[in-house]
Amino acid sequence: MINNLDFNVLFQQNEKKLYFILCLILIGFFLTYCFNYYSIFGFAFENKPVIENESFCSENINVYFCPLDDCSSKIVDLINSSTNSIDIAIYSFTYLDIANALIKAKERGVIIRVLFDKIQSSSNYSLDELLQQNNIFVKISTNPSSMHNKFMIVDNKIISTGSFNYTTNATKNNNENLLIIADKEIANKYALEFDRLFILN
């Protein structure tokens, strides 16, 4: 039988080990709680999407993620819906489907202005010259740094924005995001910025 004195001596000799074991037990309880808590509220710790379709839609906002969502087709659909005007500030523009949609919109009488980045427009694949050949008003940014915007304003009431460039890589390979927002007040703010940039160049 172990008396109180023997127990105290045993405890003192193994105090650090006991505290270490106790800490491990507490950490185990904490991690179990965390995993259960986040599982309940729909979070996932695996490196894969929680839902298969990443797109999100509300009354005024549509959110898309490439390459899971076909962002270029969303841009083409938006261009095809235009009736009055389209203003675009774009860093890289090499995707022919979007250029063709703009050319068709121009043929319908839509007023179109496109602002290109200076360095990107010097690429052999840039479509600024094709747009100009089809009577679309194109300007090249004179910003010595980058004109890194990627937004479009349609009929002064709908805008698209995000990381999505009008390129094959952005459509099919890169991880990109695209927001389409139907809000006149937001569109007006983008229109003011576009006009400022367009006048400067």
CA–CA distance, 20 with 36 (Å, rounded to integer): 25
With left for phi above 0 and alpha for psi between -120 and 50, is residue 109 left, alpha or beta?
left
CA–CA distance, 13 with 121 (Å, rounded to integer): 75
Q: Please tell me which residue in 74, 87, 117, 150 is annotated as part of the active site.
A: 150
Does the active-site annotation cover 148? yes
Task: Locate 134 and state its tokens.
Answer: 């089809």
Q: Please tell me which residue in 70, 155, 157, 183 is annotated as part of the active site.
A: 155
Does the active-site annotation cover 155? yes
Q: Which residues lie closer than 8 Å to 1 by C-beta, 6 or more apart?
A: none
168 within 8 A of 94, measured Cβ to Cβ: yes
Does the active-site annotation cover 77? no
What is the helix (H) or strand (E) element at residue 154, kind and residue range? strand 150-154
Nearest 5 degrees, angle CA 115-CA 121-CA 126?
105
Q: Please tell me which residue in 148, 172, 183, 184 is annotated as part of the active site.
A: 148
Q: Which residues are catalytic?
A: 148, 150, 155
